Each structure stands twice: as C-alpha cells, then as structure tokens.
Amino acid sequence: MEYKNLGRSGLKVSRLCLGTMNFGSQTDEQESFRIMVRALELGINFFDTANVYGRPAPVGTTESIIGRWFAQDGGRREKVVLATKLFGQMDPWPNNARFSALGIRRECEASLKRMQTDYIDLYQMHHIVRELTWDEVWQGFEQLFASGKIVYNGSSNFAGWHIAQANEAAKRRNYLGLISEQSLYNLAERTVELEVIPACHHYGLGLIPWSPLSGGLLGGVLKGVDGGRRSSEAIKNRLANDLEIRPKLEVYELLCKEIEVKPAIVALAWLLHQPAVTAPIIGPRTVEQLDDAFVALSTTLSKETLDKLDEIFPGPGGAAPEAYAW
C-alpha cells in the first residue's frame, strides 16, 4: 500500500479511503466488520463516515457499527485514520446540528460516544453553512482541538470560494484550518477542476473524491441495463434523461475492453493519476467489492489511454480563473 500526506499536513493516509455509508443500510453489521478487517489487511488505514449515515436505519447507525468494531480489538483504533462529518439534523431539537459553537461541541461528543473513541482524526464539515460567521465556526472547532477531541479539520462539498474564506479566517486566528476537501469528482463529473482543485492546491488541501464511479455509471453498466439484468433506478433514469451520456459510455466501455481492464478499475485508476487527488473514497457493500477496487492501485494507465479518456469525458476547460480570464 502506498501512503500519502493528506494535504499540507503530516498525516499519512492510504491511497484508497474506505467509505462506510453503506454500513447499516445496504450492508449488515457482520459484513461491515469483515470489510473493515479486510481493509486493514490490505493496508487501508483511512476510514470515512458521517454522523447522519445509516438511513433508512436511524441516523448514527454507521458510526455505532464502527464503534462496536473498534471495541472488539483495542489495537484497531490506533491503526485507523478516522474521519467523520457533521452538518445534518440528527433530531428536531434546536442547536443539535449545523456549526454553531454549541452544535459543534454536541455533535462531536455524540460521534465520539457512538464510535467509542476519545478523538477524531479528521473532523469534516459535510456542507457549507452560510448564516454563521467563520469566527464562531472556528471557535467551536478550536475548543475541540484544544481539548484533544479532534486533530484536523476538513470540508466536504465546498466551493473554491468557501475554501478560501475558511482558511483565510483560520489564518487570522492562528489556526491550521482545512487540510482536506471531499468533493464529487470522477470522469463524468469534473466541475471541481475549475475552482475547487486550484483552491486545494493554493491552500494545501488534499482532495478526497466521493462517488468515483459516478453512482455506478462508470462501472460498466450498459451490458447490465441492455441485457435486462438488475440495475439501479438512478442509473436507468440517468441514461434515459441524459442524452449525451450513453454515447460516451459506449465508447468508454469499448476502450476498457480494448485495454482489458474493468471499467470500474479504469475510473478509479484515472482518479489516482490526478495530482490533486489524495485518496478516492470507495464504498464497498461486500468484501469482494473491496478486493476488486484494490486492483486500481496497481493499474497504470498509459498516456494514450489517459488522452482517450479526456476525449470521451472532457474537463470543464482548465483551472479557474485562467479558464475564463482574459
């Protein structure tokens, strides 16, 4: 396993991040345990979750599963770089969500209790909150940092401007600020190349892409859809409503066949070839899916293949502001 510094920090994380959103919803507890055990066996030390994960089970279910897994073996926690997120409303009572200084404190305490740990390695803001000042937000996180309950901060689904605002405000307070951004990024969704990736480069943030297969779209879906096998309704709707995506996927899947690499592995390997990317988040529902994804780490795409992928799924036109400034 190769490890990489997360942004400008000294924190070393594996080149694949284990996403746990399926734990408790699509994957039962025992299979979730098996996946986490296998991840450590493969050298994956970076686990990502969120306080709201678990639906349709009660929110918090996923963190609780991770906590029960930690409790089985006292050495597991220290092997894992544990990342979780806060934002969503956990219950209807006031002040139990978002980023007020009080809400941050309460949500952290609740996550620590569910995960049966004393600290969170990477505490991430799941979305931007526009109605609060950054001084209040950072004050809340600084108090957690000072008490040893969090080590680093990250963001998720932020725009480049939000990253700039957040880190400039942190700088004024002599606080480290954000070291990572978790964004939607894959071959079919490349908007972050305009402003988010340049902001990450400028402020020293590691990029952690979520949905590397575009909701399964890049996993070789056409054979399944056209052959009548089961496919998700979301994929079927996307193919039906996006008139441009099917021709792209046809060429993409043909290219994957020519180079004899599974489409899902090509999509993951492409992300691993992008300089800004620290670790794509994979969300296996089974151990077998985890083993399949691991192959991407040893898959090298030629320049010719990378050029063809850019032709099939062109980016938005380069990094902003240079993409449109004149």
Catalytic residue IDs:
53
Q: How far apart are CA 318 and CA 323, in angstroms?
A: 5
Structure tokens at 141: 């996180």
Contact (Cβ atoms closer than 8 angstroms) between residue 132 and residue 98: yes
Number of CB atoms found within 10 A of residue 192's CB: 24
Tally of CA atoms within 13 A in the half-sphere of 198 that contains its CB: 13
Measured at the CA of 221, the angle between CA 215 and CA 224, to 5 degrees, comes to 130
Number of CB atoms found within 10 A of residue 239's CB: 18
Block residue for tokens 């990477």:
122
Number of CB atoms found within 10 A of residue 173's CB: 13
Q: Residue 199: helix, strand or coil by DSSP?
A: helix
Structure tokens at 185: 């990024």
Residues sharing a CB contact under 8 Å with residue 295, sequence separation 6 or more, in sequence order: 262, 265
Helices and strands of the chain, counted as H and E runs: 13, 10
